[in-house]
Amino acid sequence: MTVRVLSIGTASPRGQLTQGRTSDFGRAMAPSSVPEGVIEGLYRRTKIDRRGSVLIDPATGAQTFYAQDADGRGPGTAARMAVYAREAASLACEAGAGAIARAKMSAASITHVVTVSCTGFESPGVDQMLVRSLGLRASVGRTHIGFMGCHGALNGLAVARALAAADANAVILLCCVELCSLHMHYGDRMDQLIANALFADGAGAAIVARSERAECPEVRACRSWLAPDSADLMSWRIGDHGFEMSLSPQVPARLAAVVPGWMDAVLESCDPPLRRADVAGWAIHPGGAKIVEAVGEALGLGGDTTADSLAVLREHGNMSSPTVLFILDRMMQAGRARPWVAMAFGPGLAAEAVVFA
C-alpha cells in the first residue's frame, strides 16, 4: 500500500477584514513618518482581498487588541500568547474535525497527531486539545513541530508519511494552526510593514494513511534544502513585543535563481524520475505574490499553473504553515490531474517540497 492524503479540512476565523480595512489598520500602526501613500501602495501590491484574524469581532469588525500604548510598541509577548492559548485550539479543532469527516472515518481510528505552529506556545497545547475535543483515543501518539515557519506543513507531511510507512495501521491527523495577526508591529521598518500587510490567521488539517484510494494523492517524496549564503535573508525571533520577522527584499530574486536547479534535483530523485514538464499541478506557498510570480517564472510555469496559490493568497492572505494545505485542498476538490509538487520557504533561507503522485 502507498501513503496518501485521504482528506483535508480548513478553518478560518469568523472575524474577517477586507484589505481596505486592513490598510486602515496598517496606517494606524505606522508612525507619522511613514507617508500614507506608502502604506496604501504596499497593501494594494499584496493582491490580498480579505483575510481572517481572531482579533476581529465578527459582529462589528472592530478590534481592541492593538491600542497604541505609551511606548508605541504594542502588547507584550505574554499578552499575545494569552490570546494564542484562548483561540488557537478551537480553530485547529474545526479544521481537524473537517478532515476526519471528509475522510469518512471515526475519530477513534486516529493513531497519531502531528501538530504544527510557529506563532504561539502553550503546554498542554493544541495537540492535547485535539485529543480531548475531537474524542480521539487517549493513547494516540503526539508530535509537535514548532517554529519552522511557512513550510511547517510540509515538514508535518514528511513526519506523517514516515509514521504511516512504518506502521500499516497508522492513521495520522496532521494539524497546522497559526495566529499571525498576534504579531503585528508598530514602527517604520519596511520588512515589518510588509509582514503586517501579508499575514493572517487560519488552520489546516489532513488525514494521512496507507491506502489504495486512487483518487487520493500519494505522498511520493519529501525533500528539504538550505539555500547557500542565505541565513540573513529571513528570520523569525521571539521579542518582548511579539515575534519579530526580518525579511530581505532579495528573497524573490534569490529563490528565482536557486529553485529551478533544486527542483530539477528533487524531481530526478523520485521513483520513477520526473521532469518539470511531467508535473500537472504546483502548490507554491504564497509568501507573497512576488514570490509566487518569481518562482513560477523561473520554473517556466504558465500563469494558470499558479492560479490556486494566488487564489488562496487573495482570499485568505499568508497564513504561514496552513496555507499550503488550503492550496492542496483546492486542487483536491477540483480534481486536478497529478503529479503535483508542493513547495514552501522559510527562515534560513530553507525550502521544503513534497511530490504527490
CATH 3.40.47.10 fits 2-211, yes or no: yes
Which residues does residue 350 pair with via DSSP β-bridges, in sequence order? Answer: 226, 346
pLDDT at 6: 98
Which of 85-99, 179-193, 256-270, 307-321 is predicted least confidently? 179-193
Task: Tell me: pLDDT of 300 over 90.
Answer: yes
Contacts of 35 (CB under 8 A, 6+ apart): none
Work out the average pLDDT over 114-141. 97
The model's pLDDT over 308-324, given as tens digits with 9 standing for 90+, comes to: 999 999 999 999 999 99
Neighbours of 112 (CB within 10 A): 21
For residues 174 and 116, is the Cβ–Cβ distance under 8 A?
yes
Which pLDDT score is estimated for 7? 98
Query: Is-contact 329 207, C-beta < 8 A?
Result: no
**Range from 19-23, 166-170, 187-191 carrying the lowest mean pLDDT:** 19-23
Task: Specify whether the CB–CB gap between 178 and 118 falls below 8 A.
Answer: yes
219-356 CATH: 3.40.47.10
Mean per-residue pLDDT of the chain:
93
Grid look-up 509538487 returns 341
Q: Where are the domains of the chain?
A: 2-211, 219-356
**Residue where the block lists cell 503585528:** 184
- CA–CA separation, 36 vs 211, rounded Å? 54
SS3 of residue 353 by DSSP: strand
pTM: 0.96
Helix intervals (H) in 206-250: none
Which neighbouring-strand residues pair with 209? Answer: 4, 171
Rounded to an integer, what distance in angstroms lies between the CA atom of residue 75 and that of residue 182?
9
pLDDT reading at 234 higher than 90: yes
What is the pLDDT at residue 68? 64
Report the range of poorest mean pLDDT among 49-53, 64-68, 322-326: 64-68
Q: For residues 154-165, give the mean pLDDT.
A: 98
Query: Are the C-beta atoms of 80 and 36 separated by less than 8 Å?
Result: no
Q: For the chain, give the percent of residues with pLDDT over 90.
A: 80
Tell whether the model's pLDDT for residue 70 goes beyond 60: no
143-162 average pLDDT score? 98
- 80 CB-side CA count, 13 A: 24
Q: Do domains 2-211 and 219-356 have the same CATH topology?
A: yes
CA–CA gap between residue 315 and residue 309 (Å, rounded): 10
- Which pLDDT does position 22 carry in this prediction? 75
